[in-house]
C-alpha cells in the first residue's frame, strides 16, 4: 500500500490522494481501491454498452454527434479490441461506412454529409488499420489531400 498525503481531496464518501510522481490512490469509505482490491473490470458490460450505442440510430446522442462520429467509432472499435471483443461490431458494415466518408480530395469526413478533415482522416485510417483494411485506401491520394 502506498501512503501519501501530498494532495488529499474529499468528494462525498470518496477520498482521492495525489502522490508524488503523479500516482493517484482512491479510497471509498475505508476500502482501499488501489490495484489488487479493485473489482474485476466488467468487460461484458463495457462491450455491451459500446455495441448498444453503435446500434441505437434513433437516439438524440446519435444525431447530435454526427459531425464527429468517425472519432467516436475509432474509440469504440479500439475499446472493443482491447476488451478482446472486436466481433461485437460488424466489420464489413463498419469498413463500408468508413469508406463512404472518404471525399474526392482523399480525406475523410466525420460522417457522410460533412467535409474532409485531418482529424477524421486520421481516425478513419486508424479504424482501417485496426481491421486490416488499409489496402482499400490509395495512400498517395490521402497524402495529396490539401487541408484548407
- What's the DSSP call for residue 36? G
- What's the DSSP call for residue 66? G
- What's the DSSP call for residue 116? B
Integer Cα distance of 103 and 116 in angstroms:
6
Query: Is the overall model pTM greater than 0.85, yes or no?
Result: no
Integer Cα distance of 104 and 101 in angstroms:
10
Integer Cα distance of 139 and 94 in angstroms:
20
Give average pLDDT by consecutive 10-residue segment, the chain, 148 residues.
48 52 48 46 87 88 86 95 93 98 97 96 97 96 89
- Whether the Cβ atoms of residue 120 and residue 108 lie closer than 8 Å to each other: yes
Amino acid at each position: 500500500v502506498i501512503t501519501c498525503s501530498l494532495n488529499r481531496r474529499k468528494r462525498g464518501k470518496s477520498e482521492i490522494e495525489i502522490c508524488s510522481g503523479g500516482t493517484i490512490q482512491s479510497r471509498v469509505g475505508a476500502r482501499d481501491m488501489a490495484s489488487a482490491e479493485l473489482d474485476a473490470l466488467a468487460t461484458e458490460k463495457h462491450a455491451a454498452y459500446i455495441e448498444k450505442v453503435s446500434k441505437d440510430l434513433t437516439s438524440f446522442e446519435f444525431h447530435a454527434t454526427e459531425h464527429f462520429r468517425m472519432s467516436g467509432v475509432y474509440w469504440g472499435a479500439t475499446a472493443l479490441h482491447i476488451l478482446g471483443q472486436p466481433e461485437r461490431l460488424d466489420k464489413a458494415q463498419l469498413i463500408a461506412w468508413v469508406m463512404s466518408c472518404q471525399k474526392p480530395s482523399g480525406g475523410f469526413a466525420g460522417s457522410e454529409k460533412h467535409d474532409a478533415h485531418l482529424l477524421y482522416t486520421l481516425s478513419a485510417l486508424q479504424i482501417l488499420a485496426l481491421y486490416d483494411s488499409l489496402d482499400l485506401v490509395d495512400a498517395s491520394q490521402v497524402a495529396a489531400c490539401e487541408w484548407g
